[in-house]
Amino acid sequence: MTNQDLLKIADEFGTPVYVYDVESIKVQYEKLTGSFSKNTRFFYAAKALTNINILKYIEKQGANLDCVSINEVKLGLKAGFSSDRILFTPNCVDITEIEEAMAFNVHINIDNISILEQFGNKHGGNYPIFIRINPHIFAGGNYKISTGHIDSKFGISIHQMRHIERIVKSTNINVEGLHMHTGSEIKDPDVFLQGLEIMFELADHFPNLKYLDMGSGFKVPFQDGDLETDVKSLGKKVDKAMKDYTKETGKEFQLWFEPGKYLVSQSGHFLVKSNVIKQTTATVFVGVNSGFNHLIRPMFYDAYHKIENLSNPKGPERIYTVVGNICETDTFAWDRKLHEVREGDVLVFRNAGAYGFEMSSNFNSRLKPAEVMFLDGKATLIRKREEFEDLLKNQIEVL
């Protein structure tokens, strides 16, 4: 997909708009499948982007699906994923949501002692489960996206293994899988090997174990010079570790990963229009027709998105601070070098496929943007831009 394609999309569908070049998803998926052994399965982390068309495309590539809510499970089934290709890994949900997932016959992952005990007392060994372990490994791009450290709300501490064993044995729970996820944007592949060694140590506690799920955290580059997870090297190291374990113990497990951002981030291009150029005593602002109601990652995670001026790609470079139209501080980028921006120019935020539209809101009573899929040289609308009536859709007027 070229910049000219993006400009045509902005002209046809308006801005702001999310555009997904879905063929790049296929490229990323094939990188993974070509780097790991055939005894490895990949579950797309649906929370990154759940448009039904994206899910259908990913299903056709042969991937499986990782879900964190019961509605993601339902979306996955509607998109064509069979129940055996769906893993449900919720956090801090009521037991009734677990039981609703059981009715769909998907894989279920339990991540706290309370639900594990409730599940065992009610269902015993009638339904196999995964247990999510907190390995106490600090990893990820920053604290907000690190999920395996000692103070994380995710998973059951490895130091509570004795407690887990008591519940499993006393209620006859059938544990078929162990799961851990240490964080996102992991730069050091040895973090995965460290986690795998912990998994091997815990495996002896569960005689019916079939699967080891390492979560994900594969990093994609967001700016020039950024590191990317070397999945080929990681695949070789993991494969060796698995073979060495099998040779030593005679046990063989299927290995699972849950890439989300790695698959869809680079497919996404977020197009906005420059509304105003505002110069203060020290700063030149570009105010665009969007805000953190559409793309919250820069404000929430201090995330970097490369920004380009599609309308004036050969203009002189100037320094701008790019901000949104929300009545809060919604700064996308400070002191960013861009080709001269004029009012009405179309700007693009790169790497916007993951946690972009998915985390959008109606803050300030502003409308959510459209979504467009680009495939085989054709742009197709896959979500309409919201209209004013959508803001009132579920409200009940009583006055």
Are residues 134 and 204 part of one domain?
A: yes
Given a cut of 70, whether residue 383 has pLDDT beyond it is yes
Average pLDDT, the chain: 93
Are residues 251 and 227 part of one domain?
A: yes
Residue 57 lies in a domain: no
Given a cut of 90, whether residue 142 has pLDDT beyond it is no
* Residue 327 is among the residues annotated as catalytic for this protein: yes
Residue 379 lies in a domain: yes
Which pLDDT does position 187 carry in this prediction?
Answer: 67
Which pLDDT tens digit goes with each residue over 175-185?
Answer: 999 999 876 66
Catalytic residue chosen out of the listed positions 327, 334, 335, 343: 327
Binding-site residue positions for pyridoxal 5'-phosphate = 217, 355
Residue 211 lies in a domain: yes
Given a cut of 60, whether residue 302 has pLDDT beyond it is yes
Task: For residue 304, give its domain range.
Answer: 265-386
Residue 4 lies in a domain: no
Which pLDDT does position 143 carry in this prediction?
Answer: 43
Residue 298 lies in a domain: yes
Are residues 94 and 224 part of one domain?
A: yes
Beta strands in 48-171 (DSSP E): 64-67, 86-88, 107-110, 129-134, 156-157
Are residues 240 and 100 part of one domain?
A: yes
Binding-site residue positions for substrate = 297, 301, 328, 355
Residue 225 lies in a domain: yes
Are residues 304 and 205 part of one domain?
A: no
Percentage of the chain lying above the pLDDT 90 cut = 86
Given a cut of 90, whether residue 149 has pLDDT beyond it is no
Given a cut of 80, whether residue 328 has pLDDT beyond it is yes
Number of domains in the chain: 2
Name the strand (E) or helix (H) holding 388.
Answer: helix 388-392
Per-residue pLDDT band at 154 (split at 50, 70, 90): confident
Last residue of a domain, one of 243, 259, 275: 259
Binding-site residue positions = 217, 297, 301, 328, 355
Residue 150 lies in a domain: yes
Given a cut of 60, whether residue 145 has pLDDT beyond it is no
Which pLDDT does position 148 carry in this prediction?
Answer: 45
Given a cut of 90, whether residue 37 has pLDDT beyond it is yes
For tokens 């490369």, what's the residue? Answer: 306
Percentage of the chain lying above the pLDDT 70 cut = 95
Are residues 375 and 274 part of one domain?
A: yes
Q: Specify the CATH number for the domain of residue 341.
A: 2.40.37.10
Are residues 101 and 228 part of one domain?
A: yes
Q: Which residues contact 195 (CB under 8 A, 6 or more apart)?
A: 135, 137, 148, 180, 182, 214
Measured between alpha carbons, how far is 258 from 66 in angstroms, rounded to an integer?
6
Per-residue pLDDT band at 114 (split at 50, 70, 90): very high
Which pLDDT does position 348 carry in this prediction?
Answer: 98
Last residue of a domain, one of 259, 280, 301: 259
Last residue of a domain, one of 204, 236, 259: 259
Are residues 168 and 95 part of one domain?
A: yes
Q: Specify the pTM.
A: 0.94
- Average confidence (pLDDT) over 159-184: 92
Are residues 163 and 135 part of one domain?
A: yes
